[in-house]
Structure 1
Amino acid sequence: MSPLVPADPAEVAAAVTLAAASKTPLSITGLGSKSALGRPGKALRSLDLSALSGVIFYEPEELVISALAATPIEQIEALLAAQNQELAFEPMSFGALHGSGPGTLGGCLMTNLSGPRRIKAGAARDHVLGLKAVSGRGEAFKAGGRVVKNVTGYDLPRGLAGSFGTLAVATEITFKVLPRAETLATLILPGLEPAPAIEALCAAMGAPVDVSGAAHLPALSAKRQGFPTAITALRLEGFAPSVNERFERLAASLKPFAAAERLDPAASNSLWRAIRDVAPLANPSENLIWKISVAPTAGPKIAEAAAKAFPCEALFDWSGGLVWLALEPSPEVGSDAGAAVIRRAIAQNGGGHATLVRAPAELRAQMDVFEPQLEALASLSRRLKAAFDPHGILEPGRLFAEF
């Protein structure tokens, strides 16, 4: 069937109403940058939102921006940069991992994306102020607003974050924005193994120096970024005198781990963009990619358990709390993309969750791409799905096989 291409939010509501009446499953797409995330859906027809692009409202003095859902993130970031502002949660791009184009504002919220600055600023859900959307019934609704303090009703904008379009189709989104730092510097500790590297990162996070990025690139990943050995990186942002003073204090406190080196702003921006987009692990493109969220000190243990079972590489972000694993397709990995080994290691090291973010469609179709839910949580998810999308037409099977 040909895709539905609504020209405005009213046509989105009409298209979803029509699909609900005929119980036609829909896949929701903007620019297609995240189409390979999650399980392959069971949709019969595509709802293409690419025409819903453009900034609706931007008041730099109020630190608020509203835009239609398919507005490219790159356009938003350029507009904000001209006013020395930014989306502080630093949304990642899947261009390196999936070979896709730019993402959209709606896709950013619906996948709840965030980059290295999440340890300081939070995720997309922590910055959304309001949205307009269409439920699976075809009903248009709005929630939140254009101010930071919204106190009435349920916090639907945050609740829909990370739902991958399975509950509602976002048409317009409002985010708060923040001033960009005047400058930045990156402190590099060279040559550390993962365990002491994470220990150093955690020590830095506990120090009063306002770290805004904390990552470790093992030797192979670091060499792909032009470094001769493994690097442990800490980002400091702000006014130049403050950055300089905090850098010296942090370097002194971490001296027992390694002698600190410093990257200038240009080199720092390049490095953190690569970390944000997981560029060091992007190639070879046939490698399977896992995103693992755990307690920071558990990260090296999980990476080590995986490395004992099959060939893989790791990259650590969020002070070790986010582990990216790249697995070479091999007999040791098996038909579950290594899920059993990885999830067992997570369970044995304090718990967390693992998401398969890159794999062939046929592999994603036969396994749990997202962390399996406990029955109580799965029951709540089913009730939410029934309330927002009673006919089950929005992205069926995208998150879990059952709904």
Structure 2
Amino acid sequence: MSILEERIDIEAQAIKAKKAAKNLSIATTREKDDALHTMAKTLEERLSTILEANEEDLRNGEEKGYEAAFMDRLKLTEARVRDFANGLREVAELEDPTDVTKSDWTLENGLNAKEMTVPLGVIGMIYEARPNVTVDATGLALKSGNAIVLKGGSSAINTNRVLVEMMREALQSTTIPAETIQFIDSTDREATQQLFTMKEHIDVLIPRGGGALINAVVEQATVPVLETGVGNCHIYVDKEADLNKSLSILVNAKTDRPAVCNAVETLLVHKEWLEQNHQQLKETLDENGIIPHGDATLQQYWPDTALATEEEWANEYLSKHIAIKTVDDVMDAIDHIETYGTKHSESIVTENKDTAETFLKLVDAAAVYHNASTRFTDGGALGFGAEIGISTQKLHARGPMGLPALTTIKYVMTGDGQIR
């Protein structure tokens, strides 16, 4: 198939999605929920087929020498498949975010005005290695009344193809049109770039992946973009931090799933706390396989520690490596975060409420924490059922984007002949 033919097909898919979005916008909550449950059941019933397709992608990844963190995001297990199937069921149990009256008032002339929530329309989803995004994004789009055009990365092409086939097949036994889900079955980058400019058919683009992908979409798209962000997340351990809390939070935030965007990448440590607790900290790092890259102060305690580079303060490791910097106080920590952070998730560990309040107010991030792990910046963990991404921008939506982020506002006016 030529690039021209492929482009025509992609546009045809977007047109089908737009038509399906009109039908979906008038579907009842019950119809959407039934469809989500049917999709979840189908995925579980055909779990072995999903894992076989994923094995093919994993073999291809090994041949291409993908890094361990990338392979972890790509890999599916029976538990992971059941998790995202259950995620569809959880989304079905959530309140329908559409047709909600946010405000209602009547003007002096008798004209009634209502501020109502409505679907965005057609969502273009561009993402990389995580096949769970295929299911999570589809479920959230469907429940919020949106059609979706999926363009996953080439690394997961076989897994994504099977997942979409199953979900579309499931919809055929429901009242929701299968055309609601469109999958661009291509590894050509031009197919992705075409989505950037399909403003007449796509209402919003959501990129999810590494910094290069996100920046490319933001810089090149003519379609409005809901920008998700990379996660250079920090934990600041204050001089008044409890030792056990600090170590427990650090280990969870670094090792629970090192390759995800809400894992901690830099530990900022008050110099007095480090002086008192450097031995326990080093033992904890060693016990959990965490590899430190420190500043000159840290090297005084641990001479064999690699010196962190300027690049390491700014980038995600996505592994069990961690950068550690000694700071003088909370303001020093905040300045470091302001310089190198990505406005994703930032945490402070301290028993001083005033210090915590200063941190929580002054740190500019989508999610800030006091005495808790950054791993909670997640739609599922926060009770959203699932998330379509974590927004680090400030307009329309910020933080984990669940159902409400996939709606917009329509003003509905009802009169009796009023003129102005």
TM-score normalized by structure 1?
Answer: 0.31
Higher share in strand? 1
Q: Which structure has the bigger radius of gyration?
A: 2
